[in-house]
Structure 1
Amino acid sequence: MERTVHKARGFRSAADWDIKQQIRMTARERWAVAKQLKQRAYGSNTPDVRACHQIK
């Protein structure tokens, strides 16, 4: 994930830039970023949350 810095002059400008940045990303790029952020927050060995809903 490439870090990008953008200094905005106001909240509205920052919000607009954030939306435009997300629109420019492909679905695969957004998925990769979400996966990397999840690993940073929860580690790489986390249980699947869907496992608790499986019928045994």
Structure 2
Amino acid sequence: MKHLVLLYLASILAGYALTLVPTSAVVTPAIADVLALIGGLAMVVFAIALLVLGTKALLNKN
């Protein structure tokens, strides 16, 4: 379970890194916008997954 939480946190961090990709000769502004969108979606999805995992852990405690 601990490894899954760390994986979700790493995925949120990777999504944040995708939102900060600078434009260059290879990465055009259009590609940077798409990467920012993908990064934002990744952060939201894995944050929700962490909330669900935490809620399950709290409800299973007796």
- TM-score, normalised by the number of residues in structure 2: 0.31
**Higher RCO, 1 vs 2 (CA within 8 Å, ≥6 residues apart):** 2
- TM-score, normalised by the number of residues in structure 1: 0.34
CA radius of gyration, larger in: 1
Instruction: Report which of the two has the higher share of helix.
Output: 2
